[in-house]
């Protein structure tokens, strides 16, 4: 299979997000009025779209169903500038989906994932595309990937000495990253995911900082623990720091973590110092929380720099 040279390969889920907002809780099976939005999502796909909007050359390795919203999802992703040529389109599987009920602060009260199609991304799928890894400067995975596939990606990144960035995606999926901490260069858990990774509670900023350092001691080169409206803490082998969240109205929090990861990787690949790369991530996250969409449609380099607070 001929490979194309891209700066970044993003490997993991594509999904459609069904987000609902209700003003009164349903008491019985009867419907209550609310707002229902169907949008493009999936952690890896979101990160790839954010990176393309930041003018990075990026390819998505993912899988969708053929007979539902899958082809639409791929088309929208391609329109944003992502190379989608390697996305599998399966006639047998449903496209991944994420259903969230958001509260008045735009945060999920509860959510459901249906990501079975991801099992098509087997180690064989990765091996067939190993030539794509040769020219990549960074590979980003989400933890939707099956454990054996994460293993195959980690091995290829180690062999080619490629920056491997991992998004833990959810508390249920985060433990899949534990066997690979030594191969992961950058990990970006939120507090709940960091608690699962570290195996103990994180009660305040200081404990979050200790947890970031703990992840570095266990093998990652950089750990960023995002703290929602409190911002984030980060640690590398040489430095550590805290960055406050940027202000602004929160419309919908979905996808802020994915935007953060994209902004951070963009910064590091463009040789920004660690502290500034982290702030670029926070800037991308702030732009995203102001949009009803999972990926801010107006994200651009200009917007990113405009919102950057140094």
Ligand X SMILES: O=c1[nH]cc([C@@H]2O[C@H](CO)[C@@H](O)[C@H]2O)c(=O)[nH]1
Interacting residues toward ligand X by CB under 6 A: 13, 15, 17, 41-43, 46, 98, 113, 115, 142, 144, 169-170, 173, 254-255, 257-258, 294
Q: Which one of ligand ATP, ligand X, none interacts with residue 113, CB within 5 to 8 A by kind? A: ligand X
* Beta carbon nearer to ligand ATP, 86 or 291: 291
Which region among 93-101, 195-203, 226-234, 268-276 touches ligand ATP (by CB under 6 A)? 226-234
Minimum distance, C-beta of residue 240 to ligand X, in the bound complex (Å): 25
Among 253, 265, 274, 277, the residue binding ligand ATP under the rule CB under 6 A is 253
Minimum distance, C-beta of residue 45 to ligand ATP, in the bound complex (Å): 13
Q: Does 13 bind ligand ATP (CB under 6 A)?
A: no
Q: Does 231 bind ligand ATP (CB under 6 A)?
A: yes
* Beta carbon nearer to ligand ATP, 71 or 228: 228
Minimum distance, C-beta of residue 3 to ligand X, in the bound complex (Å): 25
Minimum distance, C-beta of residue 256 to ligand ATP, in the bound complex (Å): 4
Among 282, 287, 304, 308, the residue binding ligand ATP under the rule CB under 6 A is 282
- CA angle (91, 92, 93) in 5-degree steps: 105
Minimum distance, C-beta of residue 171 to ligand ATP, in the bound complex (Å): 10
Among 94, 228, 300, 303, the residue binding ligand ATP under the rule CB under 6 A is 228
Residues that bind ligand ATP (CB under 6 A): 190, 226-229, 231-232, 245, 250, 253-258, 260, 282, 285-286, 289
């Amino acid at each position: 299979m001929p490979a194309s040279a891209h700066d970044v390969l993003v490997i993991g889920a594509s999904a459609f997000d069904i987000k609902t907002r209700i003003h009164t809780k349903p008491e019985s099976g009867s419907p209550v009025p609310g707002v229902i939005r169907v949008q493009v999502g999936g952690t890896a796909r979101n990160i790839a779209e954010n990176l393309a909007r930041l003018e990075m050359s990026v390819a998505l390795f993912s899988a969708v169903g053929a007979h539902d919203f899958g082809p639409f999802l791929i088309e929208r992703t391609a329109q944003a500038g992502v190379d989608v040529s390697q996305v599998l389109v399966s006639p047998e599987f449903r496209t991944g989906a994420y259903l969230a009920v958001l509260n008045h602060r735009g945060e999920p009260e509860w959510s459901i994932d249906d990501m079975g199609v991801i099992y098509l991304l087997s180690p064989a799928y990765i091996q067939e595309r190993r030539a794509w890894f040769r020219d990549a400067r960074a590979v980003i995975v989400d933890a939707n990937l099956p454990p054996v596939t994460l293993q195959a990606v980690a091995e290829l990144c180690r062999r080619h000495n490629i920056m491997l960035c991992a998004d833990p995606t959810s508390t249920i999926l985060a433990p899949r990253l534990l066997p690979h901490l030594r191969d992961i260069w950058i990990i970006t858990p939120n507090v709940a995911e960091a608690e699962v990774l570290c195996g103990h509670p994180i009660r305040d900023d200081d404990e979050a900082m200790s947890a970031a350092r703990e992840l570095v001691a266990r093998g990652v080169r950089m750990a960023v623990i995002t703290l929602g409206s409190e911002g984030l803490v980060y640690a590398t082998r040489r430095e550590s720091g805290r960055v406050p969240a940027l202000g602004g109205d929160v419309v919908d929090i979905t996808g802020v973590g994915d935007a953060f990861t994209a902004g951070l990787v963009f910064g590091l690949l463009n040789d920004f110092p660690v502290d500034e790369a982290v702030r670029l991530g926070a800037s991308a996250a702030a732009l995203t929380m102001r949009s009803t969409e999972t990926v801010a449609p107006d994200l651009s380099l200009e917007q990113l720099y405009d919102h950057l607070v140094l």
